[in-house]
Amino acid sequence: MTTPSEQKMRAAIAARDSNFDGRFFYGVITTGVFCRPSCASRPARPENLRFFSTAEAALAAGFRPCERCQPTDLIPGLSRLVGVARFIESHADERLSLAALARKMDLSPSRFQRVFKAAFGVSPKSYQDAARMRRFKTALKDGDDVTGAIFAAGFGSVSRVYGEATRNIGMTPKAYRAGGAGESIAYACRDTALGPLLMAATKRGVCFAQFGEDEQGLLEQLQAEFPKAKLSASPAQDAFELDAWVEALNAHITRGAPRPDQPLDLRGTAFQIRVWRFLLSVREGEVLSYSELAERIGKPTAARAVASACAVNRIGVLVPCHRVLRSDGGLGGYRWGLERKRVLLDAERSRQAASK
């Protein structure tokens, strides 16, 4: 059965038409919840709706099932799978075997592994690791020492967490807690369709990607951002693929190549990092307002703080703060100039239109 047109989906939601239940699902970006068309919840503003052909697609996009209309009940077994996922989150600090989780679904371990990954995009182990890492970062932000945070999150050993935390936080735990001072940073500069771009990276990922008028001015900005770091121009063999990363981002900006999925070394306050990480989930061609972004991260009164976090973002395009607009649809601000923001948005809209 094909997905209805957007006009029909909007009409079905307005009429709460149960005939469309199962044919599509809709998410509300201000709440992070997705529903079936007949849901009796208070209507959302039309611009806050996102449409999905399946419940699995809504889950994969980061929306959670509505507790009122229970949209996952329409998919055999999916509501039970969501229950298992919630169990994993609440027991992330415990040792959970694949066999024990599979028994909750009355499935073999191999079958459960396939079903879980199909629904959530990751294996049960990766899902638990991510939940455990969230606890670890929360403990660090709340002021725990590194060792205490490691055991509070359920990692069980100091040696185990370092490799995993580096991949997920973008820096070592002590550097994360101390603000990343004292790092060695390599940089490279390229001309792009948006002007000169300077990208810099630590061993863990990109920490700086900014546009400017010339390389010297950009290098001065990098030095101002990281005054205690050791900076060096990037020879490709010693800079952890930095030159390739710059070329990939340039290809995205100049020729419309896919946005590169590069490791990032995010540095800022807990609130700023929360904003930047959410921005990583905003897909090309989509936009939202500062107030909507504040709602989505659970801080509905923090629209101004969200705007400030966007304004101090050091990693242009890769952390897509250009997709955040004013509530009236105006461009708002952009650290690298409104013309660059307009060019990025127009290019993304054109690519989205061409792909339909």
Closest CA to 30 of 42, 22, 12: 42
DSSP result, 273-335: HHHHHHHTTSPTT--EEHHHHHHHTT-TT-HHHHHHHHHT-SBTTTS-GGGEE-TTS-----T
Q: What are phi and psi of 64, to 5 degrees?
A: -105, 155
Rounded-to-integer distance, Cα 158 and Cα 352, Å: 45
Residue of 35, 39, 189, 310 marked catalytic:
35
Identify the burial level of 298 via C-beta atoms within 10 angstroms of its C-beta, where 0-12 means exposed, 13-18 middle and 19 or more buried: exposed
Active-site residue identified among 39, 189, 207, 321: 321
Q: Any idea which residue has 């077994």 for tokens?
A: 77
Q: Are 69 and 40 in contact (CB under 8 A)?
A: yes
207 catalytic residue (yes or no): no
β-bridge partners, 231 = 185
Phi, psi of 316 (to 5 degrees): -65, 145
Continuous segment of H or E residues that includes residue 34 = strand 33-35
321 is catalytic: yes
How many helical (H) and strand (E) elements, i.e. helices and strands, does the chain have?
A: 15, 10
Residues annotated as part of the active site: 35, 321
